[in-house]
Amino acid sequence: MRRLFAVARWLVDLAVVVAVIACILHQSRRRSIACAWEGRRASCAIEVESSLGRVRSDAIREIRGAAYRSKNVVGFVTDADNKGENALFGTREIAFNDEGDAERFYAFAYDHDPQRVEAREGVERPLVVTAAWLGALLLYAIVSRFAWSELARRRR
């Protein structure tokens, strides 16, 4: 019976750890995209911050207009020097989480209006959210050890 109790305790703890890791991976990130027209060409700055606080920046330069929109993906027409990895000619894609953002960026590139457009996805400070989830996991570990030991003591 004790072995079954230990296995059940281990499975519950494992499920909690997996759930916390899934929440960290899903919620603890940030992405901001800002595009602006500069004369007859536009440029976009893309910044992504991971759950560990690592920031990666990218830019799309020399945007001439919109090539296509497919649900949450917008393709921009660029010069051949600025093409994406899988593009044959000068196109770059940005995938959005929200179709409304994709529509706004498509209209920006197609109509050249408004002069500036931005989108933010995720949380403002991913590293703080990650620390909060890990703190909650530590609190769970402390409370559950006390609760499991109290339960085991009562069973004796």
* Residue with the two structure tokens 């536009």: 42
Q: How confident is the model at residue 9 (pLDDT cuts 50, 70, 90)?
A: confident
Respond yes or no on whether the N-terminal peptide bond of residue 114 is cis (omega within 30° of 0): yes
pLDDT of residue 52: 85
pTM of this structure: 0.72
In sequence order, which ranges of 28-96 are alpha helices (DSSP H)? none
So what's the pLDDT on residue 86?
A: 61
Span 17-27, pLDDT tens digits: 999 999 888 88
Closest by Cα among 3, 13, 19, 1 to 147: 13
DSSP code at position 51: T
* pLDDT (0 to 100) of residue 33: 93
pLDDT in tens, 79-109: 766 655 665 567 788 888 889 899 999 999 8
pLDDT, tens digit, 9 for 90 and up, residues 134-155: 999 999 888 887 776 776 677 6
30-78: pLDDT as tens digits? 999 999 998 888 999 999 998 888 999 988 888 888 888 888 889 888 8
Cβ atoms < 10 Å from Cβ of 6: 12
What type of residue is 82?
Answer: N
